[in-house]
Structure 1
């Protein structure tokens, strides 16, 4: 049985409700976690693709900026040599590149927004997975399953959270800020 048809289903799911209706909650939480991991893997790929697209557009914008500078210099050189027609042609080409750049800037803004949206969704998915793992530990403790099973789940959570250093840095920064507020 598949619980999630979309990534938003993972973010909006009510784990307690899903597990209360399950015949075997321990088995069900394992299935839910497995599906969440698949969703996160897909979200990671999407974030990487969106980031690569944004960077490619950024590079193309830099190339256009360089071309604009070159056409302006060509116009100056043509004028310096007394060739107003060539200067005008260079400025026409400069304007064409500026128009291309303006269109690409809109695409870049959209790419940045997409990347930010996907990253936010990825973080929400990771948070939901962490919640599911905590629920799994609760269930294994309630059903009296071996402590090693719960311990391995906890170790997996710690290991995977260390894979995302930016999140860890954010948490460390926020913790330091709270300590400052409390005067510690």
Structure 2
């Protein structure tokens, strides 16, 4: 049985409800975690792709900005030499590049929004997986099983190590802020 057909299903699922309906909640949580891990791997790939796309567009924007500068300089040089027709041609090329750049700027804004959305979804998936791992430990303990009886349980104990570096930095920053608030 597949629990999730989309990544948003993982984010919006009610683990308690899913497990209450299961014949063997320990086995079901293992399957749920496996599916979540697959979804998380896909989300990681999507974030990497979106980041690569965003950077490629940013690089292209920078190249176009350089070309705009070069065509403007060419127009200035042509005018300095008294060649108004060449200056006009250079300014036409400059305008074409500016038009291309304007289109790329829209694409870049869309790429940034896509990357941010995918990153937010990734963090939500990570949070849901951490919740599932905590639930797995709880169910395993309730069933009287030892934590070493399942390979998933060792992963549950290492859940914190799966936190992405950026997420870890945010947590460290928030922890430091809480310590300052408490005067520690």
What TM-score bracket applies, with the shorter chain setting the length? Answer: over 0.9
Instruction: Give the Cα–Cα distance (whole angstroms) in 2 for the partners of residues 44 and 87 of structure 1.
Output: 49
Give the root-mean-square deviation of aligned CA atoms: 1.1
Unmatched tracts of structure 2, length 5 or more? none
Per-residue deviation, 1:159: 2.9
2:61/2:105 contact within 8 Å kept: yes
Instruction: Give the Cα–Cα distance (whole angstroms) in 2 for the partners of residues 73 and 153 of structure 1.
Output: 60
User: Within 5 A, what are the aligned runs for 1:143-162?
Assistant: 143-149=143-149, 152-161=154-163
2:71/2:94 contact within 8 Å kept: yes
Q: Which residue in 2 is equivalent to 1:175?
A: 175
Per-residue deviation, 1:80: 0.4
Instruction: Give the Cα–Cα distance (whole angstroms) in 2 for the partners of residues 12 and 112 of structure 1.
Output: 24
Instruction: Give the Cα–Cα distance (whole angstroms) in 1 for the partners of residues 141 and 160 of structure 2.
Output: 19
User: Within 5 A, what are the aligned runs for 1:10-159?
Assistant: 10-149=10-149, 152-159=154-161
Per-residue deviation, 1:170: 0.5
Instruction: Give the Cα–Cα distance (whole angstroms) in 1 for the partners of residues 73 and 45 of structure 2.
Output: 42
Instruction: Give the Cα–Cα distance (whole angstroms) in 1 for the partners of residues 13 and 160 of structure 2.
Output: 23
Unmatched tracts of structure 1, length 5 or more? none
- Structure 1 segments of 4+ aligned residues over 6 angstroms from their partners: none
For residues 112-167 of structure 1, give each alpha carbon's deviation from its aligned partner in whole angstroms, at most 9, with x where no partner exists: 00000000000000000000000000000000001324761333313322xx1111
Instruction: Give the Cα–Cα distance (whole angstroms) in 2 for the partners of residues 49 and 60 of structure 1.
Output: 17
Instruction: Give the Cα–Cα distance (whole angstroms) in 2 for the partners of residues 20 and 160 of structure 1.
Output: 27
